[in-house]
Amino acid sequence: MKHNREETLSEEMPNGIYDVVIVGLGPTGLTLAHLLGRRGLRVLALEREPEFYGKARAVYTDDECMRVFQAAGVANDVEPDMLIDTPAQWVFGDGSVLAQFVRTDRPYGWAVSNFFYQPTLETKLEALLARYPNVSARRGRELTCFEQKRDRVMVTHAASAGLQYDHKRAATQPATDIQTITARWLVACDGGRSGVRSTLGVKMIGESFPNPWLVVDIKAKHGNDGFRHLPYFNFCCDPKRPAVSCPQPNGHHRFEFMLMPGQTREYMESPETVREFLSHHVDVDKVEVLRSLVYTFNALVAERWRQGRVLLAGDAAHMTPQFMGQGMSSGVRDAYNLAWKLDAVVAGRAGDHLLDSYERERKPHAKEMIDVSVRMKDFVSMANPAKTMLRNAIVKGMLATPGLRDYIREMRFKPPPTYPKGAYLGLPRKRRKGAEGRPIPQPIMRTFDGKRGLLDEFLGEDYALVGYAVDPREALDAKARAILAEFGAQYITVFPFGQRPQGAGVSRNVSPGLVELDDLDGGLIGWLRQCGARPGWVALIRPDKFVYAVTPARKTQDAVAHLARALEPEEKSRAESGCKLAKQARPADLEGMDLLRLDPPGSEKPGLPTVESESVTPPL
């Protein structure tokens, strides 16, 4: 939804003011550019490299991120070039299966498992930016410096020949075609070696692992299809040579091999070694080697993600080992969390304190993804024969135990997208399975006239009130409705399938401004009931589809009051911004919302050793 914006910057500024400058056109920057462009913000995206990097790094994303791509309007464009519903496995050296991970449900509307070829994904995302005249993507432009002022960021960029993604090369040519522009906000999506982060003096906390791996990207030669025997994603848990086999679309495939003691980088990257390793899995004469490279990986998180009007996202904020396929996905989640908040702040619907919730919400989940990725690394790279025998026995025992079997097979050890108590924008979560701070599921819904669509298609891009068999506006007064109208809220009533009101006493027409939906498979109604809701309750949904509140309809006005107070721009007086509504919110409803908290939860905990940003090696 596009919003009208007032010019809030001082009059001496030039007319060409950008709302947001994005540094870096990787997956995170591209996703953010789409989300902001869709909302009508004026965006400049700068990318140092003149040409796109044509090699794969990321290979996988999940249903949560496909939902983000849906919000960005690109999911249907990128999904055809993905391998969806691909099982993953732990296998032995002979290819026999220790455990298989299979999920075909779609809790967020998309396949849980999606494998892709990153050059295809990124080139398509970049090309699709052309649909937004308000977004300017400029390759071959390098950020050279920036200066923060009270209400703006002065950004200077220059022509760049790039490094061809070889960070050992140093730029030696003097800067040319230097330009300075003004922006309200700067978002650094410039990767693990983020220049913006280094300029800010922000350190990375965590570990850099010394365990090197060889990655080999191959493609079947024309007329050959030599991967039929490798249909699934395999973690090869072979103590003699731990390895990864990853299927990709359009004839691509990736192998990764852990270097064993005594094996050097030069030895592993030699064409003879690469050929010998591949020969154990494929006919090497029928494939083309696109890339072979030895790399190490990192488990790092930036100590802070915001400094004034500059924010960090993606690998600039956190670096995740590749073993759960969550590095790129974490950056995509960052973009979704950040986009609607930037939009609200730029439009004047929220104070910039709202942006402090970005780190509070995202950092704990990014850390959890890093931790589970490290555990997966430790599991699959085990090389001690005695320990691997014990590992295998434990897994077999778990698979034979009801309850634990599904925990393994459905990969339930992956951290759910749940924000910690007290760390999110929303009412406090009062029960273990409470909905607040969690995303609402996205089942297929049915309209009155028999059309089907995913839930988000009806929720829209801003806030939404979802009533469980009730009109969610029922208890709202004019003031509350005016607040929600300013926020662009949609109103939805959901009924269990086959249980719409009917008969002589039912109104002939749907109330104006209300959308009524049938929950075809009961996924949404069941989830609401699990969270404690009953018929006559209402859920207040944030623009990123996380739940702000679930409450009986009679208390919906309290939730709206809480939201209005939470978003209130600092320069507005409390009296002018709806004091009457604020008084209706009980103190108990406001507990747990510390909007002025500066440090994210957990930041006071003892962490891993500090790693200076200059020494960071980016993951693939």
Query: In the structure, what pLDDT confidence band is assigned to residue 51 with cuts at 50, 70 and 90?
Result: confident
Sign of CA dihedral 111, 113, 115, 119: positive
Please provide the size of the chain in residues: 620
Query: Whole-number mean pLDDT of the chain?
Result: 88
Which H, E and C letters describe 23-81, residue by residue?
ECCCHHHHHHHHHHHHCCCCEEEEECCCCCCCCCCCCEECHHHHHHHHHCCCHHHHHHH
Mean pLDDT of all residues in 511-539:
96
368 located within any domain: yes
Which is nearest to 544 in space by CA: 437, 467, 415, 429? 437
State the DSSP string of 597-617. Answer: --SPTTTTS--SPEE-GGG--
pLDDT at residue 566 is higher than 70? yes
Domain that holds residue 332: 17-74+116-205+300-377
Higher-pLDDT residue of 424, 430: 424
**Residues 369 and 450 reside in one and the same domain:** no
470 located within any domain: yes
**Residues 67 and 176 reside in one and the same domain:** yes
459 located within any domain: yes
pLDDT at residue 592 is higher than 50? no
101 located within any domain: no
**Residues 481 and 356 reside in one and the same domain:** no
The per-residue pLDDT for 164 is 65
**Residue 143: which residues within 8 A CB-CB, separation 6 or more?**
23, 46, 48, 155, 156, 157, 190, 195, 196
Domain boundary among 353, 377, 401: 377
Domain boundary among 377, 409, 432: 377
Q: Looking at residue 30, which CATH number applies to its domain?
A: 3.50.50.60
**Residues 473 and 570 reside in one and the same domain:** yes
Q: Which amino acid, 443?
A: P
**Residues 47 and 161 reside in one and the same domain:** yes
52 located within any domain: yes
**Residues 477 and 338 reside in one and the same domain:** no
97 located within any domain: no
**Residues 569 and 463 reside in one and the same domain:** yes
**Residue 228: which residues within 8 A CB-CB, separation 6 or more?**
none
Domain boundary among 377, 401, 436: 377
Beta bridge partners of 159: 141, 176
475 located within any domain: yes
Give tens-digit pLDDT for 272-301.
Answer: 999 999 999 999 999 999 999 998 889 999
Give tens-digit pLDDT for 199-231.
Answer: 999 999 998 887 899 999 999 998 788 899 999
Query: Which percentage of the chain shows pLDDT scores above 90?
Result: 75
Query: In the structure, what pLDDT confidence band is assigned to residue 506 with cuts at 50, 70 and 90?
Result: confident
**Residues 41 and 188 reside in one and the same domain:** yes
Query: For 416, which DSSP code?
Result: P
Instruction: Give the separation between CA 551 and CA 558, rounded to whole angstroms.
Output: 9
Domain count, the chain: 2
pLDDT at residue 609 is higher than 70? no
pLDDT at residue 161 is higher than 90? no
Mean pLDDT of all residues in 521-541:
96
The answer to whether 37 touches 125, Cβ cutoff 8 Å, is no
Q: pTM value?
A: 0.89
pLDDT at residue 424 is higher than 70? yes
477 located within any domain: yes
**Residues 188 and 314 reside in one and the same domain:** yes
The per-residue pLDDT for 582 is 40
**Residues 363 and 463 reside in one and the same domain:** no
Mean pLDDT of all residues in 190-203:
95
**Residues 48 and 180 reside in one and the same domain:** yes
The per-residue pLDDT for 99 is 94
**Residues 462 and 540 reside in one and the same domain:** yes
Q: Looking at residue 549, which CATH number applies to its domain?
A: 3.40.30.10
The per-residue pLDDT for 589 is 39
